[in-house]
Structure formats: C-alpha cells, structure tokens
Amino acid sequence: MAKIGINLVTGSLQKDEIIVGIDLGTTNSLVAIIHPETKKPIVLKEHDESSLVPSVIYFDEYGNPVVGSAAKAYLETAPERTIFSAKRLMGKTYRDLGNASLFSYKIIDDNTDSLVKVKVDDRFYSPIELSSFILKELKLRAEHILKTPVTKAVITVPAYFNDAQRQATRDAGKLAGIDVLRIVNEPTAASLAYGMGVGKSDDVQTIAVYDLGGGTFDISILRIVDGVFEVLSTNGDTYLGGDDFDKCIVQHWAEQHKITFEELSANKILTQGLRLKAEAAKKYLSDSDIYEDELNGLSLILTKGEFELLIEPLVSKTIDCCNKALKDAGLNKSEIDNVVMVGGSTRVPLVKHSVSEYFDRKVNDSVNPDEVVALGAAIQADILAGNNKEVLLLDITPLSLGIETAGGLMDVLIPRNAKIPSKASRQYTTQIDGQSGMRISVFQGERDLVKDNRKLAEFNLTNIPGMPAGLPKVEVGFLINADGILTVTAKELRSGVEQRIEVKPQYGLTDDQIEKMLMDSITFAKEDILQRALAEARTEGEQLLKTTENFLQKNSALIYNDELLQTAAGMQALQLAITMEDKNLIQRKIEELNDISRPYAERIMDQAISKAMAGKKI
Ligand code: ADP
Ligand code: MG
C-alpha cells in the first residue's frame, strides 16, 4: 500500500502516505481507498462484516463512547444516551434547528445564536465532537484493516452544506486526528465514482444526483465543464428517508394487530423489535414479492404491493423536490444527461421506477448505492495524492460571500458559483472623522440585506490613524482555499502601517481552538458541571429558606418553641453555607433543615387536612 505522492494541498512530497475517502453519513459512514494493484476504488471492511458503520454513538455510564452497530442496539432501549443523526446538528444553532423535539436525546444551548450541544448525563458534546467519535472509529477500523496509520482523508458533505457546516466537518476530522485534505460534495463524489468528469472530455454534462438515505433526501443538479463540477441547484428534505419507510411498516403491522400508539410508546422492546423486522422486510422486498416472519407470536406479513402503497406518498414527495431542483437550475428534464442513484433506499424498486419514469431515462445504479459516495471520495483522494494526473478537480462556491456595508447591505466579494480556489479584494473607507476602528462582518448568502444571510465571522480592524472621514483606505481581502474554506483579511493602506486584525469567527474553529476544545472537553466539562451544580444548589437553598420562612409566619401558633429554635439554627446554617463554594455543604444543610421541619410540617398538614375533611362524607 506504500505510495509516494505529491500532496497538492501541502505541496510536500510524502512517502508511505495513504489518503482515504470517507463518507460521513447521517445514517451510515464508511471508508474507501484506491486498490494499490487494480487502481480501482474499494470500500474497506473486515472479512465477515459490513463496510457500513452506523453513525450512532452510545455513551455508557462512564461517558465512554461506543460507535456503530453495538451503539445502534441502544436506540430504543436507552434513547437518552444514544445519539443518532449528529450530522443534522453540524454547524447549527438552536434557532436553525427549529424542531429539536424530533430528537430523543437532549439538545441544549444557552442562547439561540450559539451552536447547539447535546447533553448526556452531566456531559455536553458538540456535534463536532460527536462526529469526531465516528471518524475516530472509522480511522481505527481502517488502520486495523490496512495495518498502517491513517491520518489523511477526503471527507464528503451534502452539496447544500454551508461554510459553517463544512468547517465543522473539517474540525471533527482534526479532533479525530485526521488531516482533512479536502471536503467534497457528496453528489460530486458519486458522479466521480461513475467516471463522470474524469478523463479528457470537452463535453458539458448535466447530472441529477438522487440521494435517498436513511433519514435524509437530497437531489442535486450538477454541471461538469472541463472537469469542473458546478452545483446548479439542490433540493430535498432533511427529514425523509428509509427510516420513514420502516415507520410506515411498523404502523401497518401495529394496526393489523390492534396495537395502539400508546402501547408502542410504552413498550420500547416491542417497538425496537418491530422496527428491526420492518427494516428487514423492506430490504427483503427490494428483491422479493412477499415477506413473512413473526415476532413473539405476532405474524408479520407484508407484500411488495402493500409496501409500495404505504410509501407511495413519500416517494412522490421526493419527485416534487426533483421538480423544484430542476426549476431552480432553469432546466428541463430533457436537458439532464445522467441520473445517478445514491443511498441505500434507492434499492427500493418503486423508488428506482419513479425516478426513472420522472426523468424519462434509465438511471445509473450499477455502483452499490451505499458505497458510491465513499468510492468517489477515494478517487478524489487519489487525485490529491498525485496519482491521477488526468483530472483537475475543482469545485464551486455554493453561495455568495461578502461583507456588511452601511445600512445593513450585503456587498458581495466572491459571487456564488465562483471557481475554487478563489480570491477577491475591495477597498472601503470610514464614515466618521477620526474613526479609529472598523468592524467587518462577513456574510454568506444571496439576499441583499445581511440580516437575511448567514453571518460567518466578524472582524475588528483597530488603530486606524486619525483621518477625516472618507480618507482611510481599508482593503478587505477574501481567499477561499481548495476546501471551500474562507480566510478574510483587512488592512488600512494609506497609513502604510500594518494593522492588527482581531478575528472572531462565530462559526468554525481555529487550530488552537480545536486543541483547546480537546483539552476543555476533558477539564472544563467537570468545571462547568461543578459551577452549574453549585448554582443549582444555591437556588434550591434560597428557595427552601423562603418557603420555610413563609410557613413559619403562617403557622407559628402551631409550632413548639424548641422546634422554632432548631429551625432558626438550621436556617442560619443554610444561609451561611450558601455563601460558600461547596455544593455538598449546601445540600447537607438543605437536608438538615428539611429534617428539622418535616415533623411539624407533617403534623400541621395532617391537622389541616382533617379539618378540611371534617363533616364531609367520602
Ligand atoms: P445515509 O446516507 O443517510 O447515511 P445510507 O445511504 O446508508 O444512508 O442509507 C441507509 C438506508 O438505506 C436505511 O434506511 C436502510 O434501511 C436502507 N437500505 C439499505 N439497504 C436496503 C435495501 N436493500 N432495500 C431498501 N432499503 C435499504
Ligand atoms: Mg449518504
């Protein structure tokens, strides 16, 4: 497997370097490489196992992550500590998520504009960390199979991923100890696996990539000109996939056996069992006409016809999305040269037929749809390693990039669809006499007002020498590197003095931050939890003091003197504990005060109840 290649990204010549291709999927993830002898892409797998690693993370009671099939088993039985679909959270704020209740685990944040975190027990995990656990597992497996260290990779992301989400994916790689050489669009990778855009061809090709996975549906319209992949449009549904097919089947069987929704929610073992059988039935029906099995005496039967009736509305929805994507790309169906099928759920014959019928052509489905994205990533990795010199693979910016100017307007520096890498700069000036600082806010999006676009970062250019308004010349430079990642610089030209720029990215992380995060996740997590626990204990203590005081005031006539004295002492002790930094002390004093007041509180309550009941018949 030893290779010598020139790394086009670092420019360095490296020996023994393997660059793997990784499909980091919402449902399943996998790794592929180019076979050293056949030069064909292959997925990595242990002899008797599947190449697919379920993108599921279960945290055991000590907080240790378990990734893959072993974790999947806990989805129904320990939903609050089993994380799935972490990819949907990448680079997202709480506000972006809209409906966090669709997740069975806890998603939290402290303010709507900061990135979400997931809480399991007392630990907080960012989606970046969660994805890094999956990547770490993939890395370990690859190293085990290849018997050599794996530290470099190409990772794929959906075409609609914005800068924050791409950056988050790259950061997850870093956290996992992987140098992410390139982030590639999933539909681009899939097209590559079919040999599209590879080799010499002057033809312009237009491709529709239909990707129906476990939980998401994406349709992307691509155009390839001279080896350059351009994303013309994307559409889809981030909550539609094979899991929904499974749910339809579970519902169908539950209805047949008169199992209510309440029974299903209460009996997780039964639901888990049915869900697994439903997935098995669905897969079986991709090649057969009738499925028959049983579960604890329940007979489970499903014909292909019944299954198709169940999922027909879902399949129709995907076709509607295709229609919209074509419209957005300004194309007719007849202008599509190739349709590429991606994702495990495209094995369902009804899906294949519907897509083929809609586009009115035979679809490309000869490459395993679970593997096609990873295989394409491996081809891209090989190109980066310098082994495949025939292709010059370029990507294109999915959204325009610019800065905010007076009045909250978006001033675009790099337009949408610019070839990557790309560079642009523009000069700006001050609005106030003697203005010494300038805030530069970077946005991504197509709208005229920045408030409708997405803020990527904010800069402060400081120490501009005093000049009348309009005189300083501030040059703002944008540079997008080969991964589609943006660096922004700002410089005051007239003063000739190099200005110091403070960069405060709101999304994405610097190398140092990543390293710090790694450490913080170990050290600060504890501190955060302690701080939070202390604050909670204090609040609880204060509340108890207040309620005790109220109770004493209302019922003083019914409490004995020694009880009053003891209570006063207990309250004083609690008050003192609250001023100290020890949550255990506070909790002890809370307990003690409760122990003191419990006997008389119960006595008084009993009296009140019997009084209230007096004269009433039950
Ligand atoms: P993702 O890209 O979201 O990670 P995948 O492409 O791996 O997902 O697709 C996973 C989905 O494909 C699951 O819902 C799985 O049940 C479904 N699937 C896998 N094999 C088959 C099959 N033979 N027939 C129907 N569905 C299948
Ligand atoms: Mg996928």
Average pLDDT over residues 146-158: 94
pLDDT score, position 12: 37
368 lines ligand 1 (CB under 6 A): no
Q: Which two tokens stand for residue 128?
A: 């970046």
**Quick check: CB of 589 below 6 Å from ligand 1?**
no
pLDDT at position 10, please? 34
* Lowest-confidence segment of 7-21, 167-181, 378-392, 424-438 by average pLDDT: 7-21
Tell me the pLDDT tens digit for each residue of 472-489.
888 999 887 766 567 888
Percent of all residues in the chain with a pLDDT value above 90, rounded to a whole number: 47
Closest CA to 340 of 319, 323, 361: 361
> With a 6 A CB cut-off, is 347 part of the ligand 1 pocket?
yes
Whole-number Å distance, alpha carbon 344 to ligand 1 midpoint, is 3
Quote the pLDDT of residue 568.
95
Residue 353's pLDDT band (cuts 50, 70, 90): very high
CA 346–ligand 1 middle distance (angstroms): 8
Dist. CA 74–CA 65, nearest whole Å = 12
User: Is 117 tagged catalytic?
Assistant: no
- Closest residue by Cα to atom 22, ligand 1, is 283
Please state, rounded to an integer, the average pLDDT across all residues of the chain.
84
Determine which residue's CA is closest to atom 19 belonging to ligand 1. Answer: 344
Strands laid side by side in the 401-405 sheet: 409-414, 401-405, 438-444, 454-461, 501-505
Ligand 1 close to Cβ of residue 370 (< 6 A): yes
Q: Strand 65-67 and strand 228-237: pairing?
A: unpaired
Average pLDDT, stretch 585-596? 93
Q: Which two tokens stand for residue 498?
A: 């190099």
Residue 389 pLDDT > 70, yes or no?
no
Atom of ligand 1 nearest to the CA of 27: 4
Higher pLDDT: 458 or 25? It is: 25
Confidence band, pLDDT 50/70/90 cuts, at residue 617: very low
Q: Is 186 marked active-site?
A: yes
615 has pLDDT over 60: no
User: Which tokens hold the place of 267?
Assistant: 């009996």
Nearest ligand to the CA atom of 29: 1
pLDDT at position 566 is 94
**Token pair in block for residue 230:** 């351009």
603, two tokens: 């006595």
3-class secondary structure for 63-84? Answer: CCEEECHHHHCCCCCCHHHEEC
Residue 87 designated active-site: yes
pLDDT, tens digit (0-9, with 9 covering 90-100), for 326-342: 999 999 999 999 999 99
- Reported as a single tens digit per residue, the pLDDT across 495-539 is 865 554 434 333 444 455 445 545 554 555 566 667 767 877 888
The whole-number average pLDDT for the span 274-301 is: 96
Residue with CA at minimum distance from ligand 1 atom 8: 213
Per-residue pLDDT tens over the stretch 526-583: 666 677 678 778 888 888 898 889 889 888 888 999 999 999 999 999 999 999 989 8
What whole-number distance in Å separates Cα of residue 344 and Cα of residue 136?
23
- In 3D space, the residue among 566, 614, 562, 557 whose CA is nearest the CA of residue 594 turns out to be 566
* Alpha-carbon distances of 81 from 123, 276, 341, 407, rounded to whole Å: 11, 20, 34, 46
Query: Does 436 sit in the ligand 1 pocket, CB within 6 Å?
Result: no
Residues 6+ apart with CB under 8 A from 311: 244, 245, 248, 348, 350
Q: Is the CB of 85 within 6 Å of ligand 1? A: no
Mean per-residue pLDDT, 87-97: 81
Q: Is the CB of 388 under 6 A from ligand 1?
A: no
Q: Looking at residue 11, what is its pLDDT?
A: 32
Q: Are 159 and 208 in contact (CB under 8 A)?
A: no
Q: How far is the CA of 32 from the centre of ligand 2 (A)?
A: 14
- Ligand 1 near 348 CB (within 6 A): yes
- Residue 365 falls in the annotated catalytic set: no
Choice among 163, 211, 243, 244 that is catalytic: 211
Binning pLDDT at 50, 70 and 90, where does residue 135 land? very high
Pairing of strands 179-185, 152-157: parallel
Which pLDDT does position 618 carry in this prediction? 42
Q: What pLDDT is recorded for position 325?
A: 94
- What pLDDT, in 10s, does the model give residues 158-173? 988 887 888 889 999 9
Judged by its nearest atom, the ligand closest to the C-alpha of residue 276 is: 1
**Which of 109-123, 442-456, 468-482, 514-528 shows the lowest mean pLDDT across its residues?**
514-528
- CB of 25 within 6 A of ligand 1: the answer is yes
Pairing of strands 419-420, 395-396: antiparallel
Q: Which residues sit opposite 184 in a β-bridge?
A: 156
Q: Is the CB of 275 under 6 A from ligand 1?
A: no
Q: Give the Å distance between the CA of 176 and the centre of ligand 2.
A: 20
Q: How confident is the model at residue 369, as a pLDDT?
A: 98
Q: Which two tokens stand for residue 289?
A: 């006409």
Q: For residue 344, give the ligand nearest its CA.
A: 1
Query: What DSSP letter does each residue of 239-283 carry, written as one string?
Result: T-SHHHHHHHHHHHHHHHTT--HHHHHH-HHHHHHHHHHHHHHHH
Atom of ligand 1 nearest to the CA of 215: 3
> In the structure encoding, which two tokens stand for residue 386, read together?
């310098």
Cα–ligand 2 centroid distance for 336 (angstroms) = 22
Say how many Å lie between the CA of residue 86 and the centre of ligand 2. Answer: 13
Helix (H, G, I), strand (E, B) or coil at 556: helix
- Which is more confident, 250 or 407? 250
DSSP state, residue 220? E
Parallel, antiparallel or unpaired: strands 53-54 and 28-34? antiparallel
Which ligand lies nearest the alpha carbon of 25?
1
Q: Is 216 in the pocket of ligand 1 (CB under 6 A)?
A: yes
Closest Cα partner for 116 from 138, 85, 139, 137? Answer: 85
β-strand partners of 53: 29
The answer to whether 173 touches 511, Cβ cutoff 8 Å, is no
**Distance between Cα 215 and ligand 2 center (Å):** 9
Q: Are strands 19-24 and 152-157 parallel, antiparallel or unpaired?
A: parallel
208 compared with 409, residue with greater pLDDT: 208
- Give pLDDT, residue 4: 31
Helix (H) or strand (E) holding 28: strand 28-34
Ligand nearest to C-alpha 369: 1
Ligand 1: distance of its center to the CA of 539 in Å? 48
Name which residue sits closest to atom 3 of ligand 1, judged by CA.
213
Query: What pLDDT, on a 0 to 100 scale, did the predictor assign at position 96?
Result: 73
Residues belonging to the chain: 618
Model confidence at 612, pLDDT cuts 50, 70, 90, reads low
Mean pLDDT score, 19-47 = 94
Strands 117-120 and 106-108, by their bridges, are antiparallel
Q: Which residue has the higher pLDDT, 598 or 613?
A: 598
Residue type, 432: I
Closest ligand to the CA of 351: 1
Q: Averaging pLDDT over each range in 70-74, 94-98, 508-512, 551-555, which range is the top one?
A: 70-74
Which member of 87, 117, 174, 589 is catalytic? 87
Say which residue, 238 or 113, is predicted with more confidence: 238
Q: Which atom of ligand 1 is nearest to the CA of 25?
A: 4
Kindly state the average pLDDT of the residues 407-429: 81
Q: How many angstroms does the Cα of residue 607 sit away from the middle of ligand 2?
A: 66
User: pTM for the whole thing?
Assistant: 0.68
The string of DSSP letters for 512-523 reads HHHHHHHHHHHH
* Ligand 1 center from residue 159 Cα (angstroms): 19
User: Could you identify the atom of ligand 1 that is nearest to the CA of residue 342?
Assistant: 6
**Please, what are the domains in the chain?**
2-222+366-388 (3.30.420.40), 397-514 (2.60.34.10), 524-613 (1.20.1270.10)
Nearest to 153 by CA among 190, 191, 174, 182: 182
Cβ–Cβ under 8 Å, residues 416 and 397: yes
Q: From the candidates 17, 137, 171, 186, which is the catalytic residue?
A: 186
Q: In angstroms, what CA-CA distances link 167 with 164, 442, 486, 590?
A: 5, 15, 9, 47
How far is 503 from 488, CA to CA, in rounded Å?
9
Q: What is the mean pLDDT of residues 460-467?
A: 83
- The CB of 352 under 6 Å from ligand 1? The reply is no
**What's residue 491's pLDDT?**
87
The b-or-e profile of 589-604 (16+ CB within 10 A means b, else e) is bbebbeebbeebbeeb
CB 208 within 8 A of CB 234: no
